[in-house]
Amino acid sequence: MNNILVLGFGVASSSYISLLDHNKKKVSVIGTPYDLKKIRLLQRPYKKKYYSELFFSKNISFFEQLNINDIPKHSLIIIGVNSNGISWAAEQLRKLKKTCTILILTKGLHKEKNKVITISDYFLLNTNFKNIVSAAGPCLAKELIKKTHTRTVLASSKIENAKFVKKILENDYYHPDITSDIKGAEICAATKNIYATIIGAAVGQSNSYLSAIEKNKYHFNAASALFEQSLREMLIIIKKYNGLASTVMGPAGAGDLYVSALGGRNSKMGSFLGQGYLYKKIISSQMKGITIEGAELMLDVGSELLRIVGQKKLPLAALLLKVITKNKKLVIDWKKFIN
């Protein structure tokens, strides 16, 4: 039986813990400082459940903090924090005397001085862990919890690491592919949130001839055009970072973008922007207190990304950055698309 250590207990990590429980793996879960309330509930022997949807077996143990003496020797560590928690996760990894393979569920990019780097590069620079795998591709947590058929990508510069993690996770409903294009997979996983926001704006940007009610019904032609342009821009970004075009056209790129554009927080933000609402109004009213990954990514690294890749090459990304940072109305210029 593999012993797995999971750092963080958010939505994504909880779905993977459920998967590991199904696979009869022994798992130790360490909560971040923001997870303590949930962790304490699950430490009670009479209440082994989470949000009434998840029930865990005795193979899953929950801890408030990392205590090496309490945790069995592990063969895999899973990083399940959001992008704001990567420094905390790196701190936990530095406490461990031995290294093993780590799997990163966190999606995003990180600004290091004047560079935009991937999350795996961040851990390479800030810990002793070198065997790193990143999970990418369409994987809605609620669907994984419900055991729907899910096809993702496990990416590592050392393909044997991806194979190792695949053997632990794969089962009758979870079907991961493997690739050595870890940069491409991670960049797709991050940037798809930017473009899902733009695609969501099709609801209000389909044309100027329709009424507000009609725009909610007739926008799929516009969304399709934005989807295609989004893939073009993702290809340009991937090429700049020496990733593979096939990654953009696979589950990590087109597949994940499709799922994100269908609904979710980024698409919802886009729909409000497309209808003429301003970003500051949305985050203080309609989407108050909700994490919107695409918007946060643009605020964190958008300017640097456009500087590195070229603003004229990424008209949709440039538009979203302007709309968010300058609190302007979103108006798509359909003539600026890349041919």
Average pLDDT over residues 267-277: 94
H or E element that contains 30: strand 26-30
29 has a pLDDT exceeding 90: yes
Dump pLDDT digits (tens) for 55-102.
888 899 888 888 766 666 778 999 999 888 999 999 999 988 778 999
117 membership: H or E segment, kind and range = strand 115-118
| Length in residues, the chain | 339
Q: Which domains does the chain have, with CATH numbers?
A: 3-180 (3.40.50.720), 183-325 (1.10.1040.10)
- The whole-angstrom separation of Cα 260 and Cα 8 is 23
pLDDT of residue 99: 80
Return the pLDDT at 51.
53
The confidence score (pLDDT) of residue 49 equals: 59
Vertex 199: Cα angle to 328 and 321 (nearest 5): 35
Cα–Cα dist 31/39, whole Å:
6
pLDDT above 70 for 50: no
Q: For the segment 212-224, what is each residue's pLDDT rounded down to a tens digit?
A: 677 677 788 999 9
Mean pLDDT of the chain, nearest integer: 91
Residue 72 is predicted with a pLDDT of: 61
Residue 41 has pLDDT above 60, yes or no: yes
Q: How confident is the model at residue 201 (pLDDT cuts 50, 70, 90)?
A: very high
Report the pLDDT averaged over residues 168-178: 97
Q: Measured between alpha carbons, how far apart are the two ends of the chain, in Å? A: 53
pLDDT score at 67: 75
Structural tokens at position 155 = 């990416």
Please report, rounded to a whole number, the percentage of residues in the chain having pLDDT higher than 70: 94
- Express as a percent the part of the chain with pLDDT over 90: 73
Banded pLDDT at 46 (limits 50, 70, 90): low
Whether the pLDDT of residue 48 is over 60: the answer is: no
In this prediction, residues 278-299 reach a mean pLDDT of 94
Torsion of CA 122, 124, 130, 132, to 10 degrees: 10
With CA atoms as reference, report the closest residue to 243 among 91, 114, 125, 118: 118
To which H or E segment does residue 91 belong?
helix 86-95
